[in-house]
Amino acid sequence: DTEVTQTPKHLVMGMTNKKSLKCEQHMGHRAMYWYKQKAKKPPELMFVYSYEKLSINESVPSRFSPECPNSSLLNLHLHALQPEDSALYLCASSQVLMGQGAETQYFGPGTRLLVL
Amino acid sequence: AQKITQTQPGMFVQEKEAVTLDCTYDTSDPSYGLFWYKQPSSGEMIFLIYQGSYDQQNATEGRYSLNFQKARKSANLVISASQLGDSAMYFCAMRYTDKLIFGTGTRLQVFP
């Protein structure tokens, strides 16, 4: 089973709202990722967690705040977003960090976010 | 610098025919991995196939095969016997250190 789930599927929020995106996997993977994808573009890496510790932050604005409460769960907290943050947010997981062995990333279905 | 190039923005193929999607890469690292993902309009990125830089044989997964030419730094995806459900965006990606670098993608449309 290579399933990564994400909720919600769609989210509309105002610029003053606070919301959270949730990602879950039960494959025993120890690396989890957040990507942002604009229309007709490839995904862009935002954050990487390895063994529940933040490993990579790709200079993402502080209005995006990741959290990894346990090895199966990854959250992305959103606050004071801008309309240009509207995008598809994809979560992925891999057995371990890339470059350390089994490295295929499996993606969830994504959350389509619209910021008004 | 590490780079993935997909030169075909769009491709058309008739159902049941084979199609090749091109991907070239540039890296100075002797250890790397190459991936292909499919993204239907629903948004999910579906893993298709993987090739490691030290793998001697070309990877195959069902109707998907990867034509790996190391000296030419190319990793083309071959889809045999195309189906209507293969219509999607296809991304080539390369592992560089602990990250995935994606190409710009090729939109494949399969027609009856």
Interface of B with A in 1-60 (CB under 8 A): 31, 33, 35, 37, 42-47, 50
Q: Give the mean pLDDT of A58-80.
A: 96
How far off is chain B from A40, nearest CA to CA, in Å?
8
Give the list of residues 6+ apart from residue A59 with CB closer than 8 angstroms, or none: none
Mean pLDDT, chain B, as a whole number?
A: 95
Q: Is there a contact between A109 and B42 if contact means CB atoms under 8 Å apart? A: yes
One DSSP character per residue, A8-50 reads -SEEEE-TT-EEEEEEEE-S---EEEEEEE-TTS--EEEEEEE
pLDDT tens-digit profile of B48-96? 999 999 998 999 999 999 999 999 999 999 999 999 999 999 999 998 8
Residue A2 has pLDDT above 90, yes or no: no
Q: How many CB atoms lie within 10 A of CB A18?
A: 12
**Residue B99: what pLDDT?**
87
- Provide the β-strand partners of residue B3: B26
**Residue A101: what pLDDT?**
65
pLDDT tier at A98, thresholds 50, 70, 90? confident
Q: Is residue B103 within 8 Å of residue B23, measured between CB atoms? A: yes
Q: Is there a contact between A103 and B104 if contact means CB atoms under 8 Å apart? A: no
**Residue A100: what pLDDT?**
65
Q: Give the mean pLDDT of A31-40.
A: 96
Q: Give the chain A residue nearest B32 (alpha carbons).
A: A99
Q: What percent of chain A has pLDDT over 70?
A: 96
Residue B97 has pLDDT above 90, yes or no: no
Q: How far is CA B104 from CA A28, A112, B78, in A?
A: 31, 20, 18
pLDDT tens-digit profile of B7-33? 999 999 999 999 999 999 999 888 889
Q: Which amino acid is at B1?
A: A
Q: Which of A94, A82, A97, A91 is nearest to A37 (CA)?
A: A91
Q: Is there a contact between A105 and B100 if contact means CB atoms under 8 Å apart? A: yes
**Residue B2: what pLDDT?**
83
pLDDT tier at A96, thresholds 50, 70, 90? confident
